Copies of this chain bind each other. A is one copy, B any other.
Amino acid sequence: MQSKTEVTLSKEFHFPVQIYYEDTDFSGVVYHPNFLKYFERAREHVIGADMLQQLWQEQGIGFAVYKTNMGCFDGVEFADIIDVRTRFYFDGPYRSIWLQEIWRPNGTKAAVTAEIEMVCMNKARSLCPLPPEVLALLSPQEPSEQS
């Protein structure tokens, strides 16, 4: 396994999420488990919903959240359009690590930060290696080519 200083880190992806009634609770700000939803939506846009659907239907492979480490530093409010920032790297043949942040409009620091560890699983929920289609997302020559 590579040491972390040598990993290939993806570029930073940006994904906007608008905050609706459904996202808030009576304290007036976003209900905290919803941040994990926004992080997942952003990951799906990085990998591609089509690829996720194809992996599941054709190969029976899905992504599962294994560990999450989240800090909530600022409240996010109704009508905010947040910027979900995402970078990721592969950690060995099984794991992907996702570094994600939520920025409010005009924010000077991240409102929420998370490190999320994902693994690939088959439908019997056994661990399986990251498929080539996914590994290709971080090929050394971007944009990736099939070899």
Contact = CB atoms under 8 A, between A and B. Distances in A.
Contact of A21 (B27, B66, B69, B123): B27
Interface residues of A, number: 41
A22 B31 contact: yes
Contact of A26 (B25, B36, B65): B25
Copies in the complex: 4
Interface of A is mostly: mixed
Interface string A5-33: 00000000000001011101111110111
Interface of A: 18, 20-22, 24-29, 31-34, 36-37, 40-41, 44, 49-50, 52-53, 56, 62, 64-73, 75, 77-79, 123, 125
Contact of A22 (B25, B28, B125): B25
A49 to B, nearest CB: 4
